[in-house]
Amino acid sequence: MSQDLAVGDQAPEFSLPNEAGAAISLKSLKGTAVVLYFYPKDDTPGCTKEACDFRDSQQRLRKAGAVVLGISLDGAESHKKFIAKFDLPFSLLCDEDASASKAYGVYKQKNMYGKKYWGIERSTFVIDGLGVIKALFRKVKVDGHVDEVLAALKSS
């Protein structure tokens, strides 16, 4: 379990079901830049704003040659509702056993109101068509994040 991925590292391979139950793997996206964003929970304020920012920037991201994928610990039904409610134009992957979250080092112990629990630390990885990490953002602040991602795509 790698906690310290860095720019220039090979991105960990994953294969996860999307909201429709289809398996999506990093291998299957070879040749395409991938914006892989990990978020804590469907339909919560920060996660909704982040998803909608990616939705609203979809054309600019596509122009930069990238496909966007969101990953959370939620299941397919939750993802389906989230996608339908906010008209999200990209797949959300179900990491119910946290295997991808652990591989990318974003599954962390968190503390809310004195209660400790495990969950996803909001993080984004920009991965090039060869599967190499071009940029990574940890503890993401949602405001302005999509612009950071677009800048990283343009510089790679």
How do strand 33-38 and strand 66-72 relate by DSSP bridges?
parallel
Catalytic residue among 5, 33, 47, 88: 47
Report the run of H or E that residue 145 belongs to, with start and end: helix 145-155
d(CA 127, CA 135): 7
47 is catalytic: yes
Nearest to 19 by CA among 68, 85, 87, 90: 90
Nearest to 65 by CA among 130, 136, 141: 130
- Residues assigned a catalytic role: 47
